């Protein structure tokens, strides 16, 4: 699956790092394989020797406990190993993992199952990042190259009217209950006391966001957090990332090409600051992550995911009753990313997976159009700094009931 994502790409497309936050596809491919090698094969597979002694230096992301590594911003400079060698690395490690699984005894399988499961989920996260980062890379090229010409067919749909769905207050359970896989940041499950609240029945659309722009939203500090106003001013934000004004109309970069902004599609590639300012401008607010989880836990996990091949958010179809909690865009919440009460990170290097990032980031929920569908769940917590815009991030409104 991961390999299929880079099929339409040249080795040059896979090489480039357009900003420190967006890593090259080749690096993603090698890093996820390094993860299996480092945390499964080396400690557990008898006699396994590292594929290359220096790959840990190149493909360790941030695990201090594993050892030194190149600076994050230098990932795009690593022209060797070539893409072909990275594929060979992947094949070799995949084969060793298969071999390990075929020969390990039951006790070993039980002991290593959590790492294997984590490795697969980790790979899914990087599948999403490959596409997300690539979109940013291609956007920096004035030729406006296309990732897949069959992706993201424009459409002229009409989004249903927004309704407010009411949820009662009281004591609720939040977090993962222990069945199936979940990250350590979704645990432990805990109780929270909330007041009643209302959530919008669908995502904010481009049309609605454009009204905010047309109303002068980017020029009115009263809607903005102080930090957000400073960012928007110094970076010259006037619209979501990838939007461009052409002959009086907004166009946008998509993975299927440059095309007019569709009014009915969910707005995407906004920062937390923009999402928050938009919400204040409407008189509403963003949901707390607990509110979102309470609402979404009653819905099935259906939506526009990576597998749709659309690579772009889709208009919510009226009449289906779907609130669109899953897929399309990650939904910014008003919740800073903090540990759940009593959270215990895993021991060793894997304890660095989530806990050390719990500062200066906001929680997003629900997955996007480039998230693998089997990766998401209602307790899933994604997180990015409030100024991040290159993720497929959008807006759902909330208010007090």
The yes or no reply on residue 12 touching a copy of itself (CB under 8 A) is yes
Whether the Cβ atoms of residue 16 and residue 24 lie closer than 8 Å to each other: yes
CB of 303 to a copy of itself, least distance (A): 28
Peptide bond before residue 81 is cis, with ω within 30 degrees of 0: yes
Whether the Cβ atoms of residue 58 and residue 69 lie closer than 8 Å to each other: yes
Task: Kindly tell me the sign of the dihedral angle through the C-alpha atoms of 283, 326, 350, 181.
Answer: positive
CB of 44 to a copy of itself, least distance (A): 22
Of 191, 235, 238, 302, the residue at the interface with a copy of itself (CB under 8 A) is 191
Secondary structure (3-state) at 388 = coil
CB of 269 to a copy of itself, least distance (A): 18
CB of 184 to a copy of itself, least distance (A): 15
The yes or no reply on residue 107 touching a copy of itself (CB under 8 A) is no
Secondary structure (3-state) at 146 = coil
CB of 129 to a copy of itself, least distance (A): 17
The yes or no reply on residue 70 touching a copy of itself (CB under 8 A) is yes
Whether the Cβ atoms of residue 118 and residue 354 lie closer than 8 Å to each other: no
The yes or no reply on residue 104 touching a copy of itself (CB under 8 A) is no
The yes or no reply on residue 132 touching a copy of itself (CB under 8 A) is no
Secondary structure (3-state) at 243 = strand
Peptide bond before residue 78 is cis, with ω within 30 degrees of 0: no
CA neighbor of 274 nearest in space, from 316, 326, 329:
329
Residues 138 and 154: their CA atoms lie apart, in Å, by 19
Of 46, 226, 248, 319, the residue at the interface with a copy of itself (CB under 8 A) is 226
Pattern of binders to a copy of itself over 17-46, x per CB under 8 A? -x-------x--------------------
Of 103, 149, 320, 360, the residue at the interface with a copy of itself (CB under 8 A) is 360
Comparison of 14 and 159: residue with beta carbon closer to a copy of itself? 14
Pattern of binders to a copy of itself over 279-308, x per CB under 8 A? ------------------------------
The yes or no reply on residue 156 touching a copy of itself (CB under 8 A) is no
Token pair listed for 285 = 């607010």
Task: Kindly tell me the sign of the dihedral angle through the C-alpha atoms of 340, 346, 347, 348.
Answer: negative
Of 87, 336, 346, 353, the residue at the interface with a copy of itself (CB under 8 A) is 336
Helix locations, 37-105, DSSP H: 42-44, 55-59, 83-103
The yes or no reply on residue 1 touching a copy of itself (CB under 8 A) is no
Please tell me the total number of residues recorded for the chain in this structure.
401
| Binding segment (CB under 8 A) for a copy of itself, from list 15-23, 259-267, 303-311, 321-329 | 15-23
Residues 29 and 75: their CA atoms lie apart, in Å, by 12
The yes or no reply on residue 8 touching a copy of itself (CB under 8 A) is no
Residues 271 and 289: their CA atoms lie apart, in Å, by 17
Residues 190 and 340: their CA atoms lie apart, in Å, by 8
Comparison of 45 and 295: residue with beta carbon closer to a copy of itself? 295
Q: How far apart are the first and last CA of the chain?
A: 44
The yes or no reply on residue 10 touching a copy of itself (CB under 8 A) is yes
CB of 131 to a copy of itself, least distance (A): 15
**Rg (alpha carbons) of the chain, rounded to whole number:** 22
The yes or no reply on residue 57 touching a copy of itself (CB under 8 A) is yes
Residues 339 and 359: their CA atoms lie apart, in Å, by 10
CB of 258 to a copy of itself, least distance (A): 13
- What residues line the site for a copy of itself (CB under 8 A)? 10-16, 18, 26, 54, 57-58, 62, 64-65, 70, 74, 76-83, 137-138, 140-143, 145, 171, 190-195, 221-222, 224-229, 272-273, 334-336, 338, 341-342, 352, 356-360, 386, 400
């Amino acid at each position: 699956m991961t390999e299929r994502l880079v099929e339409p790409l040249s080795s040059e497309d896979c090489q480039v790092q357009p900003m420190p936050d967006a890593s090259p596809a080749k690096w993603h491919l090698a890093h996820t394989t390094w993860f299996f090698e480092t945390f499964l094969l080396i400690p557990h597979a008898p006699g396994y020797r590292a594929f290359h002694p220096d790959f840990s230096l190149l493909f360790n992301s941030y695990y201090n406990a594993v050892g030194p590594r190149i600076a994050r911003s230098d990932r795009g400079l690593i022209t060797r190993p070539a893409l072909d060698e990275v594929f060979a690395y992947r094949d070799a490690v995949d084969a060793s993992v298969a071999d390990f699984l075929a020969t390990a005894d039951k006790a070993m399988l039980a002991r290593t199952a959590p790492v294997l499961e984590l490795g697969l989920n980790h790979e899914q996260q990087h599948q999403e990042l490959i596409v997300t980062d690539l979109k940013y890379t291609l956007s920096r090229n004035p030729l406006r190259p296309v990732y897949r010409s069959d992706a993201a067919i424009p459409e002229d749909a009409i989004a249903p009217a927004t309704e407010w769905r009411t949820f009662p207050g009281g004591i609720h359970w939040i977090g993962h209950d222990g069945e199936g896989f979940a990250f350590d940041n979704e645990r432990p499950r805990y109780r929270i006391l909330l007041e009643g609240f209302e959530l919008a029945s669908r995502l904010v659309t481009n049309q609605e966001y454009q009204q905010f722009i047309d109303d002068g939203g980017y020029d009115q500090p009263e809607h903005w957090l102080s930090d957000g106003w400073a960012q928007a001013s110094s970076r010259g934000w006037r619209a979501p990332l990838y939007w461009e004004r052409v002959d009086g109309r907004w166009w946008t970069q998509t993975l299927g090409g440059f095309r007019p902004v569709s009014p009915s599609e969910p707005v995407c590639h906004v920062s937390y600051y923009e999402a928050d300012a938009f919400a204040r401008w409407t008189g509403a607010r963003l949901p707390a992550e607990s509110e979102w989880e309470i609402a979404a836990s009653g819905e099935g996990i259906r939506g526009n995911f990576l597998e749709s091949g659309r690579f772009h958010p889709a208009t919510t179809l009226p009449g289906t009753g779907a609130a669109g909690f899953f897929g399309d865009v990650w939904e910014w919440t008003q919740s800073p990313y903090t540990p759940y009460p009593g959270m215990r990170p895993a021991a060793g290097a894997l304890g660095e997976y989530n806990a050390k990032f719990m500062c200066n980031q906001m929680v997003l929920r629900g997955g996007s159009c480039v998230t693998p569908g089997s990766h998401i769940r209602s307790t899933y917590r994604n997180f990015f700094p409030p100024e991040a815009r290159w993720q497929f991030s959008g807006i759902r409104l909330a208010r007090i009931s």
